[in-house]
A and B are shown apart, each in its own frame.
Chain A
Amino acid sequence: QKEVEQDPGPLSVPEGAIVSLNCTYSNSAFQYFMWYRQYSRKGPELLMYTYSSGNKEDGRFTAQVDKSSKYISLFIRDSQPSDSATYLCALRPSGNTPLVFGKGTRLSVIA
C-alpha cells in the first residue's frame, strides 16, 4: 500500500458545482496536511495548510482532515473554469522529513 493514495481522475464538472477531492494515507505519523494547485506547465502553489483534524476554510476552499480515518479532503464551492488544474495533496510527519505527495487529481471545470 502506498503511503498516500489519491484518485488521479480526470474529474470534469460544470461551472458552479461543488468539487470534492480526497486523499487517504496509511502512516499515522503524518501531522501536516497540504493541498497544492498546479496549472499546466507551472510549479505547484500552496492552496491550503492544516495540522489538525477538522475543517479550515479560505474563501471558496475548505480543507478537511480526519486523522482517525486517515482521510483528507478539499472542497471547492462555486467552482470556476479558472479552478481547472491538477490538485496535489501533500503530507508530512513532524520534524524535517520532506513532503510526501499524492498522485494529483486533474480537475476540469466546464463553463
Chain B
Amino acid sequence: DTEVTQTPKHLVMGMTNKKSLKCEQHMGHRAMYWYKQKAKKPPELMFVYSYEKLSINESVPSRFSPECPNSSLLNLHLHALQPEDSALYLCASSQVQGGGIYGYTFGSGTRLTVV
C-alpha cells in the first residue's frame, strides 16, 4: 500500500460546527504532516508529527487541533472556522521527518468550504 488516504474528500461546514478530517497511511512512515493549500498557491505547512508526537506547529490558530492517535492515523479537528479557512487540506507522510530518501507522499486532500 503506497497511498495516503484522506476522508472526507469534500466538506461543507458552518462557522459554529465541529468537524474532523482524517488521514491514514500504511507505509510504515513515522512522520505525518498537515498542509493547507489555497487556490493557485503552494501548500503551506501547518503541523508535523514525528513518531506520533507533535514536532512542528507553524503558529496555526487554535481552531485547528491536530491529533495523532497512532502511527498510521492523523486527524485534524476543526471548530469555529472562518470563511477564509476554506481551502484544500492535504495530509502527507514520509519515512522520517524531513522526508528521508523518498520525499513526501501526499493524499488527494479534503476540499473544505466554510459557510
Contacts and interface: CB of A to CB of B under 8 A. Distances in A.
Interface string A29-46: 000101010000111111
Given A32-B99, A49-B102, A97-B98, A88 B108 contact: no
Interface string A87-111: 0101010011111011110100000
Contact of B109 (A34, A43, A96, A104): A43
Chain A interface helix/strand/loop/mixed: loop
Interface in A53-111: 88, 90, 92, 95-99, 101-104, 106
Interface residues of B, number: 30
Contacts of A92: 98-99
B99 A8 contact: no
A104 B42 CA distance: 6
B45 interface: yes
Nearest to B111: A41
B105 A46 contact: yes
B114 interface: no
B98 A88 contact: no
Interface of A: 8, 32, 34, 36, 41-46, 49, 88, 90, 92, 95-99, 101-104, 106
Interface of B: 4, 6, 31, 33, 40-43, 45, 48, 50, 55-56, 88, 90, 92, 96-99, 101-109, 111
